[in-house]
Amino acid sequence: MVKWMFMKRRLGFSDEEMEKFKSDPRNEDILARAPEMMKKTIILEVVESSGCNSQHRVGDQFRFDAFGNLLTEGLPEKVCIYAFGAAQNLIYAATELLFADADPNEMRFKRTGCFDVGLECEGWGKVVLELHVE
């Protein structure tokens, strides 16, 4: 019962909204997995970088909790929104795999990058990110 009250306050739901939220069995499953999920960190690491206007470098890491929230501690001064836009689907896939009790580190396609095509294709730069979960 405490978990439902916590979620109601956290999400700002009315009584009616909370009843609808509770009626979906997937939400019960997600909340049951929350303690284990809170121990996971989704990491996007820069594995290639050339001509990046935001100056992302190989080895830079962007950390997210298992619910897709960006963890802002330790971020570079500038963060490229275009690289993050491309990473959105990978983060979602990792979260879904975690909820399904599967290892997201086993994903076959776990790299993405900003949509800039790089200098060789008349763009500016190129950044490639790779996902892993700790």
Q: Read off the pLDDT of residues 27-45 as tens digits, 9 standing for 90 and up.
A: 888 888 888 888 999 999 9
Query: Is the model's pLDDT at 1 over the cut of 80?
Result: no
pLDDT band with cut points at 50, 70 and 90 for residue 23 = very high
pLDDT band with cut points at 50, 70 and 90 for residue 16 = very high
Name residue, tokens 């060789």: 120
Average of per-residue pLDDT across 94-106:
92
Distance CA 122, CA 71 (A): 33
pLDDT band with cut points at 50, 70 and 90 for residue 74 = confident
Domain boundaries of the chain, sorted by first residue: 2-36, 40-133
Over the range 51-89, which residues count as b (16 or more CB within 10 Å of their CB) and which as e?
ebebebeeebebbbebeeeeeeeeeeeeebeebbebbee
Residue 60: the pLDDT is: 93
Q: Where are the alpha helices (DSSP H) in 12-115?
A: 15-23, 25-37, 81-99
Looking at every residue in the chain, the average pLDDT score rounds to: 90
pLDDT band with cut points at 50, 70 and 90 for residue 3 = confident
